[in-house]
Amino acid sequence: MAETIINVVLFSMLVLTALALVRMERLFTIVMLAGVFSLLAAMLFVTLDAVDVAFTEAAVGAGVSTVLYLGTIALTARGCKPSVRPSTVPLLVCIITGAVLIWGTLDMPNFGDAEAPAEVHVAQYYLTESVKEIDVPNVVTSILASYRGFDTLGEVAVIFAAGVGVLLIISRMPGQGRRKDKEDS
Amino acid sequence: MAGGTEAVAHQALEMTDHLPVLQVLIPFIAAPLAVFLGVRSLAWPIACAGAIASLVCSVVLMLATLDGSFISYHLGGWAPPYGIEYRVDAANAFVLLLISATAVVVMPFTKASVDAEIPKKDHTLFYACFMLCITGLLGVVVTGDAFNVFVFLEISSLSAYVLVSQGSHRDRRALTVAYDYLLMGTIGATFFVIGIGFLYMATGTLNMADIADRIAGQGDNRTIQAAFAFILVGMGLKVAIYPLHLWLPGAYNYAPSAVTVLLAATATKAAIYVVLRFTFSVFQPEFTFDTNVLYWIIIPFALLAMFAASLIAVFQTNFKRMLAYSSIAQIGYMLLGIGFFNLSGLTATMVHLFNHSITKAALFMAVGALVLRSGSTFYDRIRGMGKSMPLTSAVVVIGGLSLIGIPGTAGFVSKWMLVQAAFELGWWWMALLIVASSLLAVIYVWRVLEVLYLGDTAEGAQHKEAPMMMAGPMWVAALACIWFGFDTSLTLEASRVAANGLLSGNAGMAPVPTTAAGGGH
Amino acid sequence: MRHHLILRVITKILVGPIILYGLYVQFHGDFSPGGGFQAGVIIAVAFTLYGIVFGLRAVYAVLPPWVVHRLMALGLLIYAGVGILNMLSGYEFLNYGAFAPNHPSHGQHLGILWVETGVGITVTGVMIAVFYAFAGRPPRMGDDDW
Amino acid sequence: MGLVADILSWACLIGGSFFTITGALGIVRLPDFWARLHASGVAESGGMILIILGLCLQAGWGLVTVKLIIIGIFLFITGPTSTHAIANAALVTGWRPKPGTGIEQKDTPPFYDVKEPTVRN
Amino acid sequence: MFLVTLIALFVAMALVLCRLYTGPMVYDRILAANFFGTAAVLFIAVLGFFNGRPDFLDIALLYALINFVGTVATLKFFRYRSLGDARPGMD
Amino acid sequence: MTTGDNELMIEFLLGHINYWLFVVLMMTGLYIVIVRGNYVKKIVGLNIFQTAVFMFYISIGKITGGTAPIFPTDSQGRIRPDPDIVYSNPLPHVLILTAIVVGIATTALGLALIVRIREEYNTIEEDDVLEIETKLAEQENRIHGFGPGGGA
C-alpha cells in the first residue's frame, strides 16, 4: 500500500511538472524543470526496483543534459516566443495516439502481476540461470554485458556516433566568431 | 543450454561460421579505427576496405541462402531467445547484398564528392560517420532480435542526421532539415520502441522467431494489435510513407551528394525491409488479425504516395528535389506490393527494392556530378549540360528510363511484376493505376531530359565531364540498371525465394535453424 | 571564475574523490547498481566541473582534445576487440567463455570487466568531447539579448 | 545498540523531517529571495545531517554507514557551497537585500519571469 | 518511522515544487531546484531503508554530486554567460 | 453488476492506472514537440516523451512485492541466493539503459544542431526560421522558376 501511495505521489508530481513545462517560456526555467522531471523519474525508477536505470537517469537526465542545455542556451537564446500556432491538430494527434495506446493497454496484465507473460519466459531464465552461468550478483550487469552484450556494443556505437557527430557539427570554429566576440566586449 | 557446463566441450567455429557477424563487424570497426588513427589520408582506404569486406561476406551469405535455408548465429554464444540472434535468410541476404554493394559502388564517388564538399579537417570524422551509417543499416537487416533492430536503427539514424547536416557547408538549410529529420526520426524510433514494449508485454520475449511463435497462439489481443500499429507508424516515419514523408525531400536535397546517394539507395530500403519482416514474419497477419485491414490501410497510402508525390515531382524545378519526391512515389510501389499480400506482390516489392535502389543510386550520383560542375541542381543551371557532360547525362537518361519502367531497364521488371500481381488478384483497375502513375514519371523524367539535351547552355558555362572517380561508379550503377533489366534470373530468383520465406510466416522464422552456427547448441 | 575562492577550493578538494567514486562505480558494477556507462558519466562530470570552475584552458592542459578523441574510439575498439579475441579462439563473437574454456563463469567475469572498461572509456571520452565542443564555442549573443 | 539507538535514531529522523518541512515552508512562504535563501540553507544542512545521522544509527556499522557518512560529508560541503554560489550569482547580477525592510529593490528587475513584457531571442 | 520521514520529505518536495513553478525570480527557482535535489538525495537514502535494501546508497551519492555540479554550472552560466572560458572583460 | 465484478473492475483499474498515467505523460511530451516552435523546447519535449516510454517499460518489469534484481552476497562476494525473495524483471531495465543512452545521444546531437542553426539564422524559433526559408525559396523561385514544396 505504501508503495502505491509513493508511486501515485511521484506520478502526480511528474504530471504537474510536465504540465508546468508546457506553458513555461523562459528557457532556463524549462531546463531546470526538465532536470527536476528526470530527478522525479529517477525516484520513480527506484520505487519500481530499477536501481540501475535510476542511476543512469540521474546521471544523464539531471546531470549531462542539464549541462548541455545550459551550454546551448548560453550559445543561443534565453527565451522562447509564446506559441501562436493553432493547437487543435497537434492536440488531435496526441489524443488519437494516446487513445490507441490506452486501447492497447486494455488487454495487458495488471501492474505488478508476477504471472504476466513478460515475467515468466525469458526473464525467469535470467534470474535462475545467471547465477550458474555468469555468477555476477547484479543480474542487470550480466544481461547487459553478456546475454545482450551485442546490444551494449550497439549502444556504445550510438554514443560514439553522437560524439563524432557533435564534433563534426560544432567543433569547428565559425569564421568570424572570435572577432565578433572581441567587438562585443 | 548455452554457456555453462557444455562450454567445456566447445566445438571450435571456423571463420566462415562468423560471416553474419563479420558482415556488420568489419565496417563497424572501420569507424573507430579511422578516428583512433586520426590520419586523414587513411580514413578513406579504411572505409573502403570495410565496405569491400562486407560485400564479400554478403555475397557468400546470399549464395548460402538462395536455396531457402537460413543461417542462425548466436552472439555471445547464448541460444535465442536468451541471447541476441543473427538470422540470415534469403530476404535479409538480399537486402544485405544490396546495402553492401551500394556502399562499395559509392565509395569512389564519395571520395570525389567529399573532397569537393566537406572541409579537409572533417574528413576523418565524416568517413567514420559514413561507416557507422552503413553498419547500422546492415545491423538492422541482419538481426533476428526486435530490440537490436532499434539499437542499430539508431546508429544509422544518428549518423544520418549528422551526415545530412554536413550539407551546411553549401547551404545553411541543411541544418534545419537535419533537425527536422532528427525530430521525426526520433519520434519514429520511439514509436517503434513503444511497439516493441507492447510486444514484449504480450509475449515475454524479444527474439523475432519466438515472438512470432507466441503471437500465433494468442489470437485476438489488443496489445499486439496496438503494437503492430505503433511499429508500422514508427517505421513509416523512417520509410517516409506518404503523409509521414515530410523530412525526406529536404534531407535529400540539402545533404552532401554522397550522403544523398547512400540514404536514397539504402536507408529507406532497410526500413522497408523492417516493415516487411515485422508484418510477415513477426505478426503474420493471417493469424493475428484480418488481412483485409492490411488492404484497407496500406493500399490507400501506397496509391496516395504514387500519385501525390509523382504529381509534386512533376512541378519541381530542382533536379535533386524532383528525385526526392520520385523516391517517395516509388516507395508507394513497394508498399503496394506489400498490400497485395500475395507471392507476386511481395516478389515485386523485393525486386523493386533492389531495382529502385540501383536506379536512384545512379541518378543521385549523376546529380552529384552535375552539382560538382555547375554548383546547383536547378533546371536552369544544368541546362544544356547534355553536351558538355555526355557521360553523366547518359546516366541520367538510363536512370530516368528505369524510373519510368521502360522495357529493357531494371525498373520495368519490378513494375511488370507488380502489374502481374494485380492481375492475379483480378484487380485490373489497379494495373491501370500503376500504368497511369508511370505516365506521371514519364512527365517528370522528360522535363529533366529536355533541360539537359534541348536547352541552351547557360551563358558563360565551361563545364567539363565529371571526374573518373564519379563517372565510374555512376556507370557501374547505370549498367546494372540495364543488366538487371535483361537478366532477371538473379534478382527475380532471390526475390522469389525471399518472398516465399516471408509469406510462409512461421515457417520462415522457425525456431529450429537448418544450418546452426551456434556451436553445440 | 577568479573571484570564487570557495568554489575553487571546494572543486580542488572534490575532483579527486569524484574520479575515485567513478572508478568504484566502474569496477563495483557487478555487485551494485552501476557499470561502465554510469562510471564514464561520473568521471566526465569531474572534468566538466573542473572545466567550469577553472576554465577550459586549465582542463585542456590535463586532458587535451586529441586525447579525448582517441579515448572515444579506444573504448569501442576495446569492446569489439574482446569479441574478436573470442572469435579468434573459435568461439562466438562476445562469448567470453573463450577466456577460460574450463571455467566459463571466470571467463564471463573477465569479459564483463573488459567490456565495461571499454564502455567507460568511450562514454568518458564522448561526454568530455561534447562538453568541450559546447563550452569551447564562443557565445555570439549580444549583451542586450540577456 | 538496541532500544536506545532506535529511539535516538527515530528522534533524529523526526527532527530531520521537521527541519526539512520547516525549510520547505520557508521557501514557499518567506517574502523575498534572501530570506528564502536563509530558510533553505538552514534546512538543507540541519535536516540533512539529522536524517543521515538517524539512518546511520539504524544501519549499524558497515559499508552502508560508510556510504551514508560519505554522503553526509559531501552534502555538508556542497550544500553551503551551492547556497553561496546562488547568493553570489544573485548579488553579482545586481540584486541587493535592502537593509531593514527585507525586501530588495531595484529599478529594473532583470530576471523576473512574470513582468518582462517581451522575450527577445 | 521511515514512512513518516518519507512523507515529510514528500511534503517538503511538493512545497518546493510550488516555488519552482511560480518563481518569480530565476534565483528562486535555482534555490528551489537545489533544495529539491537535496530532498531527493535524502528520499532515496530513506527509501533504501524503507524497502530493506539500504545498499543502494550509490544513487543518493550520485544525486548529491550531480546536484552540486548542476548548481555550479548554473552559477557559471549566470555569472559569465558561458560554460567555457569567460569572455574577455567579464572577469 | 455483482460485487465480484466490481472488485475485478477496481483491480483492473488499479492495475492499469499506471499505464494510463504514462500515456498522459507521453502525450504531454509529444504535444510539446509538435506544438512548440522553440527548438530547445522541442528537444525537452522529446526527452519527456522518451522518459515516459522508459517508465512504461520499467513498469512492465515490476512485480508486486519484488525487489531490485541484485542478489545478496556474503562477505567473500559469493552469491547467496535466497529462495524467498522475489526479484523484479531485469530485462526491461537492460533495454531501458540502452534506450536512455540513445536518448542522450540524440539530445546532444539535436542541441549541437540548434547551436549551428542559431549561428546561421540568428534565431531558434521555428516560425522565424520558416519565414527566412520561405523568403529564400521565393528568391530561388524567382531565379529558377516555380517549384511547389520548395523552401522548408
- Residue E90's pLDDT is what? 44
Q: Three cell numbers at B429?
A: 483497375
Residue of A nearest to C51 (CA): A67
CA distance B75 to chain A (A): 7
- Residue B517's pLDDT is what? 41
DSSP label at residue A83: P
Contact F106/B158, CB-based, under 8 Å?
A: yes
Which chain B residues are within 8 Å of C101, Cβ to Cβ? 7-8, 10
Q: Distances from the Cα of C25 to the Cαs of B511, B518, C19, D64, F132, in angstroms?
A: 39, 34, 10, 15, 49
**Which element (helix H / strand E) includes B13?**
none
Q: Distances from the Cα of B365 to the Cαs of B123, B249, B399, C89, in angstroms?
A: 19, 17, 10, 43
Inform me whether the C-beta atom of residue F125 falls under 8 Å from chain D C-beta atoms.
yes
pLDDT above 90 as % of chain A? 34
Q: How far apart are CA B19 and CA B97, in angstroms?
A: 13
- C89: pLDDT confidence band, cut at 50, 70 and 90? confident
Chains B and D are touching, with contact defined as 3 or more CB–CB pairs separated by less than 8 Å: no
Q: Is the pLDDT of residue B108 over 70?
A: yes
> Which residues does B182 contact at the CB level (< 8 Å), separation at least 6?
B161, F106, F109, F110, F113
CB atoms within 10 A of CB B511: 13
Q: Structurally, how many domains does chain E consist of?
A: 1
Exposed, middle or buried by CB within 10 Å (0-12, 13-18, 19+), for D77? Answer: middle
- B4: pLDDT confidence band, cut at 50, 70 and 90? very low
Inform me whether the C-beta atom of residue A80 falls under 8 Å from chain E C-beta atoms.
no
- B1: pLDDT confidence band, cut at 50, 70 and 90? very low
Asked if A43 and A10 count as a contact pair (C-beta separation under 8 A), the reply is yes
- D100: pLDDT confidence band, cut at 50, 70 and 90? low
Contact E52/F68, CB-based, under 8 Å?
A: no
Chains F and E are touching, with contact defined as 3 or more CB–CB pairs separated by less than 8 Å: yes
Q: Three cell numbers at C35?
A: 557499470
Q: How far apart are CA B343 and CA B345, in angstroms?
A: 5
Contact E29/A32, CB-based, under 8 Å?
A: yes
Contact C76/A156, CB-based, under 8 Å?
A: yes
Nearest Cα residue to D32 out of D113, D92, D95, D85 = D95
Does the CA dihedral B210-B215-B217-B223 come out positive or negative? positive
- Residue B26's pLDDT is what? 93
Q: How many CB pairs lie under 8 A apart between chains A and C?
A: 153
- Residue C123's pLDDT is what? 95
The edge-to-edge listing of strands for the beta sheet with B85-88 is: B85-88, B71-74, B515-516
Q: Which residue has the cell 500475395?
A: B342
Inform me whether the C-beta atom of residue A21 falls under 8 Å from chain E C-beta atoms.
no
Q: pLDDT by residue (tens digit) across B52-73?
A: 999 999 999 988 888 878 888 9
CA distance A44 to chain E (A): 10
Q: pLDDT by residue (tens digit) across A121-152?
A: 888 899 888 888 888 888 999 999 999 999 99
CA distance C55 to chain E (A): 5
Inform me whether the C-beta atom of residue D101 falls under 8 Å from chain C C-beta atoms.
no
Q: Which residue has the cell 550509490?
A: E58
Out of A63, A71, A77, the one facing C145 most closely (by C-beta) is A77
Contact F14/A73, CB-based, under 8 Å?
A: no
CA distance A56 to chain B (A): 18
Q: Report residue D117 CA to chain centroid gap.
A: 32
User: What are chain F's domains?
Assistant: 7-66+85-121 (1.10.287), 125-152 (no CATH)
In this prediction the ipTM stands at 0.92
Contact B8/C102, CB-based, under 8 Å?
A: yes
- Residue B445's pLDDT is what? 92
- Residue C139's pLDDT is what? 72
DSSP β-ladder status, B71-74 and B515-516: parallel
Least confident range from B1-5, B86-90, B396-400: namely B1-5
**Which element (helix H / strand E) includes B228?**
helix B222-239
What is the domain extent for residue E57?
2-90
Average pLDDT, chain E: 82
Inform me whether the C-beta atom of residue F144 falls under 8 Å from chain B C-beta atoms.
yes
Out of A103, A116, A169, the one facing B165 most closely (by C-beta) is A169
Contact D85/C14, CB-based, under 8 Å?
A: no
Out of C31, C32, C133, the one facing F112 most closely (by C-beta) is C133
Q: pLDDT by residue (tens digit) across B70-93?
A: 888 998 888 888 989 998 988 889
Out of D77, D110, D120, the one facing C10 most closely (by C-beta) is D77
The CA-CA-CA angle for residues A46, C131, B46, to 5°, reads 105
Mean pLDDT of B262-275: 92
Average pLDDT, chain C: 87
**Which of residues 73 through 132 in chain F touch A, CB cutoff 8 A?**
73, 77, 79, 81, 86-98, 100-109, 111-116, 118-119, 123-125, 127
Higher pLDDT, B518 or A170: A170
For chain A, how are helix, strand and coil distributed in percent, rounded to 5?
A: 75, 0, 20
Please report, as a single letter, which amino acid is at residue C25.
V
- Residue B518's pLDDT is what? 39
Three-class secondary structure assignment of C40-88? HHHHHHHHHHHHHHHCHHHHHHHCCHHHHHHHHHHHHHHHHHHHHHHHH
Q: Is the pLDDT of residue F152 over 50?
A: no
Contact E42/D47, CB-based, under 8 Å?
A: yes
B85 DSSP β-pair partners: B74
Contact D113/A29, CB-based, under 8 Å?
A: yes
**Which chain C residues have any C-beta within 8 angstroms of a chain B C-beta?**
66, 69-70, 72-74, 76-77, 80, 83-84, 87, 89-97, 101-102, 104, 108
Contact F115/C134, CB-based, under 8 Å?
A: yes
Mutate to test the interface with E, among C1, C2, C130 (most CBs of E within 10 A): C1
Q: How far apart are CA E84 and CA C42, in angstroms?
A: 19
Q: pLDDT by residue (tens digit) across B147-158?
A: 999 999 999 999
Domain ranges of chain D: 3-92
Strands (E), B366-508: none
Q: Is the pLDDT of residue B181 over 70?
A: yes
Q: How far apart are CA D10 and CA B151, in angstroms?
A: 48
pLDDT above 70 as % of chain F? 92
Higher pLDDT, B484 or F76: B484
- For A47, phi then psi, to 5°, come to -70, -25
Average pLDDT, chain A: 84
Inform me whether the C-beta atom of residue F66 falls under 8 Å from chain A C-beta atoms.
yes
Q: pLDDT by residue (tens digit) across A19-69?
A: 998 888 888 889 989 999 999 999 999 999 899 999 999 888 888 899 999
Contact D121/A26, CB-based, under 8 Å?
A: no
Contact A29/E37, CB-based, under 8 Å?
A: no
Higher pLDDT, B461 or F107: F107
Q: Which residue has the cell 493471417?
A: B286
- A185: pLDDT confidence band, cut at 50, 70 and 90? very low
Strands (E), B27-110: 71-74, 85-88
Q: Is the pLDDT of residue E3 over 70?
A: yes
Which chain F residues are within 8 Å of D121, Cβ to Cβ? 123-125, 128
What does B286-343 look like in DSSP terms, one character per residue? Answer: HHHS-HHHHHHHHHHHHHHIIIIIHHHHHT-SBHHHHHHHHHHHHHHHHHHHHHH-SH
- For B181, phi then psi, to 5°, come to -60, -45
Contact E56/C32, CB-based, under 8 Å?
A: yes
Q: Three cell numbers at D14?
A: 523526526
Q: How far apart are CA B255 and CA A59, in angstroms?
A: 34
Contact C137/F115, CB-based, under 8 Å?
A: yes
CA distance F63 to chain A (A): 4
Inform me whether the C-beta atom of residue B444 falls under 8 Å from chain F C-beta atoms.
no
Chain F touching partners, 3 or more CB pairs below 8 A: A, B, C, D, E
> Which residues does B101 contact at the CB level (< 8 Å), separation at least 6?
B55, B58
**Which of residues 129 through 148 in chain A touch E, CB cutoff 8 A?**
none
Contact A78/C48, CB-based, under 8 Å?
A: no
Q: Report residue D102 CA to chain centroid gap.
A: 19
Most confident of A44-48, A170-174, B160-164: B160-164
Contact C13/D77, CB-based, under 8 Å?
A: yes
Domain ranges of chain C: 5-137
Q: How many CB pairs lie under 8 A apart between chains D and F?
A: 4
Contact C7/D81, CB-based, under 8 Å?
A: yes
A26 DSSP β-pair partners: A79
Q: pLDDT by residue (tens digit) across F14-68?
A: 888 888 888 999 999 999 998 888 899 999 999 999 999 999 999 988 888 888 8
Contact A133/C104, CB-based, under 8 Å?
A: yes
Mean pLDDT of C122-145: 81
CA distance E2 to chain C (A): 23
Residue of F nearest to B315 (CA): F147
**Which element (helix H / strand E) includes C11?**
helix C5-27
Which chain A residues are within 8 Å of F113, Cβ to Cβ? 169
CA distance C20 to chain A (A): 16
Q: Is the peptide bond before B81 cis (omega within 30 degrees of 0)?
A: yes
Contact D119/A26, CB-based, under 8 Å?
A: yes
